[in-house]
Structure 1
Amino acid sequence: MPTFREVMKAVQVTLDDKTSGKRMREIESILRTHQAYSGLTPEKATAILEDLGPTFVKMGQIASNRSDIIPKAYADAFKALRANVAPVPFETIVEIIENSLGHPWRETFAEIEQEPLGSASVAQVHCARLAQGLGEPVPTNAEPERSKTAAGASTGDGAVVAVKVRRPFVVEQMAEDLTLVRHALALAGLTHVAGEMMLTIDELVDELERTTAEELDFCVETSNLERFHTEIADQQGVTSPVPYPAYGSDEVLVMEYIEGVQINDVDRLRIQGDDPAELGRRLAENYVTQFIDNGFFHADPHPGNILVRDHDIVWIDLGMTGELSDAERAIVGKMFFAVVQNDPFALKDALLTLAKARGPVDHSLLLDQLSALLAQYASVSLADINVGTAMLDVIEILRSQNLTLPSSLTMLARGAVTIEGVLVDISPKTSIVDIISDHVKKQAFTFDHAIAKTKDMLMATAAAAEATTRLPTQLSHTLDMIDRGYMKVGADLNMPKDFIAALYSVSGTVALALISAGLFVGSSLIAQTNMQPQLLEVPLLGFLGYLGAFVLGVYVIWRTLITRHQQRNDKKVE
């Protein structure tokens, strides 16, 4: 039965839902068609998202990076989702561009190609050329061949650019669909029809709202392009498109057009004179630099987003990025160091520093699970460890313990899996683990790291000194409370039953020996008197005492010999 809290949540979401009834009926029809109310499987959920349309496809793509929130099987299934949709008419694209610019498009662009380069759920991209004198000219060999141009356009010598235009009404549709999802989740919470999936997807929707809000605002992607281009500028042979923020807005993004060969197209790479193995090493080195050194990384590094142009690796599509704070990067370094050192305690401490608990945590079981995982990797060569797979294994363990990591770390894990898949094709001997180890070691000898380490030591020393000064007072108060009866002290020794039985046996034997000795001493004192009656000129009471002492003495000797025999032969002491 649903709880009162669940009922009230459903009522509140229902009252707040101002979305279209038509859209709700469409979603309900699709769910009934796939028999979603009878239970979900990863395959069924993927098919449902595809039928629900571009917005839900985008949700699934984002959800595929959150295996700590949704079950891993669902995250893997959602990786297969594609967002290729019918393109928006060119006239509509031109209207959006002109509304963004505030003037006719020909004042900024010499030409815009009518046929889009790609059309996805959020935006579509057109190749264009800036008007004469705008932007930096690009080399002739980097210019794409033009098949169609807009009517009336003239050819200029400005830079060749890619114009990314947000689809009309996608913001409103995304907001509406998210509201409908929350409504559906609230109602599903009353019946619990979807089991584990429904228990975790509510938190996923919170993540989706934040992520999609960033992806729908092209000003954010423009900022990502500027930052990413700046941070990799000092790395030889790696670059990214140059953005043109002066011509863009929140719904239009203008950036350098990149034409190149996909990083995993080995045959074409060799034809144009590139060494795939060298490109792989450079790619791995750059990706590790992104998240270990810079803390800002490409979160969707599939081969279609990594091109090779003029022997340079070019990262494109910065719509999805991840960011790690200085503290998070330090802890990630500790995590990798713990794996290399096979130290489950250090790994557990590092993970718990970052993880957020969503329920009870069995710390003993968590340590056992991490120990078993490290034992599994201990038998594998360091160069053969897949970083992404190892991170996903850790995330799955944490999820089983009601723990979730920041979204940036789950995005990093998925990204590492993708990068390592690319390396298998082009440079199988390249080990990301080795590169990470080198970066972590280098950081250990930097001035900033030394300063941070010194601060940590000083803070730990200060905390220890403060605790030491408080210890006598705390001990005095504790003893005073015990003395006044305000506190009781109990102990549970949890000794084995065999040990307790042996202790009883030994203590009984000692007690009998003391009684025997007491009878002997007492009888000797009585024997010195003339107490009547007597037997063999000895008071009868003393005689009986001697007899009892003798019998008990013989029994004690016999029990001692038996106990000794049992101990020497590893038998149970009785």
Structure 2
Amino acid sequence: MATFQDFVKLAKISMQDKTSHKRMNEILRIMHQYHVLAGLTPERAVEVLQALGPTYVKIGQLASNRSDLLPKEYCDAFEKLRDDADPMPFATVVEQIDKAYGASWHTVFASIDPNPLGAASIAQVHKAVLLDGTVVAVKVRRPGVAESMAEDIMLMKHLIATGELVSNSHRDILLSLEGFVEEIERTTANEVNFTIELNNLVRFHKEMETEEGVTSPVPYPAYSTDSVLVMEFVQGIEISDTAKLREQGVDVEALARRVCQSYVTQVLDNGFFHADPHPGNILVRKGEVVWIDLGMVGSLTASERMLVGKVFTAVATNSAYLLMQALTGLVHVVGPVDHGALLDDLARLLSEYSTAEMKDINVGIVLTEVVELLRSQNMVVTSSVTMLARGFVTIEGVIAQVAPSISVIEIVSKHVIAQQGSPKNIAQRMVDLAIAGTESAEALAKLPTQLSNTLEMIDRGQIKVNGDVDVSSRVLATVYASVGRLSLALLSAGLFLGSSILCTTSMQPQFLGVPLLGVLGYLGAFVLGVYTIVRIMASRHRLLNNEEPR
């Protein structure tokens, strides 16, 4: 049955939803136009997603990384959705720039190349020159895309809320879909607001300064708004174009190792990582790696970085208990959890990889499987961990394409070991150990007083202690039988003693000179005694032969 909370949720969404009916009709029309019910080839599926609009293009982009769920031919086809979009007319681009600045684009740029560098579902990028002669890239948001994506997400929420109200039989699936829609909403909200991407660029570029041979575009905050982003123009070769890289004398294997090391550093050292590291977002400029398109990033707190490091250590060392310890700090519990079953499932998962060579272990796939396993135990990981798992799936795909011999898990393991042995990490562990020791000493000092106070409260009746002992039915049956036989034996002995006393009297009536009541008492005592002995002997026989008691 639906809960009151389900009714309230659906009512709230219905009040906010003003466009779902119209949008649903549009979606049905497009599905009918492409004959979706008759089946879809990968190419036709791409066309359908493009026709449905930017929200569904984004879903296709995310799905392209899920080769564990979709056939490879669909994942390969969905890769085209990253950049393969119809470009906006240049007049529309100029109109959007003028609207963002509240003035003519000529007040900022000396020129803008009318041919786009790239066109995606959310924005389009053009090469431009600032008034001072600096060559830059200008990213312009498509008109109406924010409103369109908000409508699609509201429709999805409405459908899920309706499903939860109508039926509880597929609650787990609906919760998973709800989490997916929330992730889509979060990522699209960040991508359509270029102010967020600008801040990401500023932070990312600053943190890349300490890495040799790795950088990101220089941002220009003075010329950027929430719909127009101005950054350094980067001209390079996609990392997946290994033939062209080799022509320029680039050591492709060393390059792939540097990219992988950079990504691990982003995750474990900086706690701020590129969440969409596909080949188009990793360029090589004169041997230097340039990370571009920071619209989608993940962020980890210091404690989350530590726990993620433990996860990697557990995977590399095949420690199920360490893995469970680390994971419990990265989840939100939404229902009952069977920790014993969880530990068994994690041990079983790790055992599948224990016989494999380290270079054959795919970190992204392992993390994805762990996320699904936790979900089955009513544990939902934080959004940052979900993005991390997807990011590792993507980066491992890139490394496998560029230099298949490189093991990502090996690089991660070495980084974790080096990180644990660093002076900063050792100092932090010493501080943690000192704090834990101080807390333990304080607790030990308080223990006698706490124990004394507890005993005194029990003595006063202020605390009641209840005990619950679980005794099997066979034990209870044996006790009851023993007590019954003991009672019969005592009754027989009592009759015998009482009859003996009566026989010393002259009570009437008598039988052969003995009081009749005493004779009857002896008889009763004899019968009870014989019956008790027989029952005891029968019980002993059943015990020796391991028979069920009767």
Tell me the TM-score normalised to structure 1 length.
0.75
AA matched with 1:470: Q
Distance between the aligned counterparts of 1:500 and 1:43, measured in 2?
72
Instruction: Name the residue aligned to 2:424.
Output: 448
Query: Which sections of structure 1, spanning at least 5 residues, go unmatched?
Result: 135-157, 520-551
Relative to structure 1, the CA distance from residue 430 to residue 310 in structure 2 (aligned partners, 3 Å threshold; closer, same or farther) is: same
> Corresponding residue for 1:221?
197
Q: Deviations over 1:421-445 (max 9, x none)?
A: 2222322332222222222223323
- Report the equivalent of 1:175: 150
2:6 aligns with 6
1:33-57 superposed Cα distances (whole Å, 9 cap, x missing partner): 89999xxxx9999886544212332
Classify the secondary structure of the residue corresponding to 1:353.
coil
Which residue number corresponds to residue 259 of structure 2?
283
Query: Which whole-Å deviations, capped at 9, do the CAs of 1:129-177 have from their partners, x for residues lacking one?
Result: 333xx2xxxxxxxxxxxxxxxxxxxxxxx23322110011212222233
State the identity as a percent.
Answer: 44
- Residue by residue, what CA displacement relative to the aligned partner does 1:51-105 show, whole Å, maximum 9, x if unpaired? 42123322454577899xxx95699978836153322110111122233344433
**CA shift for structure 1 position 288:** 0.7
Amino acid at match of 1:186: A
Describe the SS at the equivalent of 2:467.
coil
Alpha-carbon distance in structure 2 between the residues aligned to 1:44 and 1:2 = 38
Moved more, 172-181 or 314-323: 172-181
Give the secondary-structure state (helix, strand or coil) at the position aligned to 2:161: helix
Partner of 1:151: none
Aligned position for 2:496: none
Aligned to 2:529: none
Native 8 Å contact 1:288 1:432 kept in 2: no
Structure 2 residue 100 is the aligned partner of structure 1 residue 125: no
Matched, 1:272 2:248: yes
> How far did 1:397 drift?
0.4
Amino acid at match of 1:185: I
Residues 1:401 and 1:31: Cα distance change in structure 2 (over 3 Å) = farther
What pairs with 1:125-274 in structure 2 (closer than 5 Å)?
125-131=125-131, 134=132, 158-192=133-167, 195=170, 197-274=173-250
Q: Per-residue deviation at 1:461?
A: 3.1
Distance in 1, matches of 2:24 and 2:278, equals 34
Q: Secondary structure at the match of 2:125?
A: strand
Call closer, same or farther: CA 1:269–1:189 in 2, change over 3 Å: same
Distance 1:206 1:20, change over 3 A: closer
Q: Return closer, same or farther for 1:320/1:32 CA change in 2, 3 Å cut-off.
A: same
For residues 301 and 494 of structure 1, what CA distance do their matches in structure 2 show?
A: 60
Contact 1:423 1:430 (C-alpha < 8 Å) held by counterparts? yes
Q: Distance in 1 between matches of 2:120 and 2:309?
A: 36
Distance change (3 Å), C-alpha of 1:401 and 1:159? same
User: Which residue does the alignment assign to 2:105?
Assistant: 105
Which residue of 2 is the match for residue 431 of structure 1?
407
Contact 1:49/1:57 (8 A) holds in 2: yes
Deviation at 1:371, TM superposition (A): 1.2
Match of 2:453 among 454, 470, 473: 473
Letter in 2 for 1:173: S
Alignment partner, residue 140 of structure 1: none
Amino acid at match of 1:167: R
Residues 1:348 and 2:329 are matched in the alignment: no
Using the alignment, how far apart are the partners of 2:244 and 2:75 within structure 1? 30
User: Aligned with 2:96: secondary structure?
Assistant: helix
Asked if residue 58 in structure 1 is aligned to residue 58 in structure 2, the reply is yes
Corresponding residue number in structure 2 for 1:363: 339
Structure 1 equivalent of residue 467 of structure 2 = 490
Contact residue 126 and residue 164 of structure 1 kept, 8 A: yes
CA separation of 1:29/1:98 partners in 2, compared to 1, >3 Å: closer, same or farther? closer
SS in 2 for 1:380: coil
1:316-465 to structure 2, matched below 5 A, reads: 316-464=292-440, 465=442
For 1:86 and 1:479, the matched residues in 2 are separated by 82
Q: Counterparts of 1:572 and 1:451 in 2: how far apart (Å)?
A: 67
The answer on whether the counterparts of 1:502 and 1:573 sit within 8 Å (CA) in structure 2 is no
- CA RMSD of superposed structures (Å): 4.6
Q: Which letter maps to 1:350?
A: A
Q: Report how far residue 491 of structure 1 moved.
A: 4.5
Question: Hey, what's the Cα distance between the residues in 1 that align with 2:369 and 2:266?
Answer: 22
Letter in 2 for 1:248: S
Deviation string 1:358-405 (CA, Å, 9 cap, x unpaired) is: 222222211110111122222223343221111111111011112111
Within 1, Cα distance between the matches of 2:225 and 2:356?
Answer: 50
Distance change >3 Å, CA 572–CA 291, structure 1 → 2: farther
In structure 2, what residue type is equivalent to 1:231? E
2-structure distance, mates of 1:27, 1:93? 27
Q: Contact 2:205 / 2:217 at 8 angstroms: preserved in 1?
A: yes
- Provide the C-alpha distance between the structure 2 equivalents of 1:16 and 1:96, rounded to a whole number of angstroms: 28
The aligned amino acid for 2:139 is K
After TM superposition, give the deviation of residue 573 of structure 1 in Å: 12
* Structure 2: segments with no counterpart, 5+ residues: 494-531
Moved more, 160-169 or 320-329: 160-169
Deviates more, 1:81-90 or 1:21-30: 21-30
Greater RCO structure (CA 8 Å; 6+ sep): 1
Amino acid corresponding to residue 474 of structure 1 in structure 2: T
Distance in 1 (CA, whole Å) between partners of 2:288 and 2:169 is: 48
Instruction: After superposition, give the CA deviation of every residue in 1:515-552 in whole Å (9 maximum; x if it has no partner).
Output: 9xxx9xxxxxxxxxxxxxxxxxxxxxxxxxxxxxxxx9
Cα distance in 1 for partners of 2:347, 2:239 equals 37
Partner-residue secondary structure (3-state), 2:159? helix
Structure 2 counterpart of 1:182, one-letter code: K
The 8 Å contact of residues 304 and 330 in structure 2, kept in 1 or not, is answered as: yes
Residues 426 and 64 of structure 1: CA distance in aligned 2, closer, same or farther (over 3 Å): closer
Asked whether the equivalents of residues 65 and 411 of structure 1 are also in contact (C-alpha less than 8 Å), the reply is no
Letter in 2 for 1:180: L
TM-score (norm 2): 0.78
CA offset digits 1:174-213 (Å, max 9, x no partner)? 2233233333333333434994643332333333333222
Question: d(CA) in 1 for partners of 2:303 and 2:361?
Answer: 25
The 8 Å contact of residues 20 and 155 in structure 2, kept in 1 or not, is answered as no
Asked whether the equivalents of residues 260 and 309 of structure 1 are also in contact (C-alpha less than 8 Å), the reply is yes
The 1-side partners of 2:280 and 2:439 are apart by: 51
- Encode CA deviations 1:310-364: one digit per residue, 9 max, x unaligned: 1111111111111111010011112222233332222112111110122222222
SS of residue in 1 equivalent to 2:229: strand
Asked if structure 1 preserves the Cα contact closer than 8 Å seen for 2:65 and 2:394, the reply is no
Quick one: distance in 2 between partners of 1:432 and 1:494?
55
Instruction: Give the conservation status (yes or no) of the 8 Å contact 1:46–1:78.
Output: no
**2:128 maps to amino acid:** A
Partner secondary structure for residue 125 of structure 1: strand
CA-CA distance at 1:21 after TM superposition: 5.2
Distance 1:119 1:159 in 2: 22
Cα shift at 1:501: 11
> Would you say 1:293 and 2:256 are equivalent positions?
no
Give the C-alpha shift of residue 234 in structure 1: 2.0
* Cα distance in 2 between the residues matched to 1:472 and 1:331: 39
The alignment partner of 1:250 has SS state of: coil
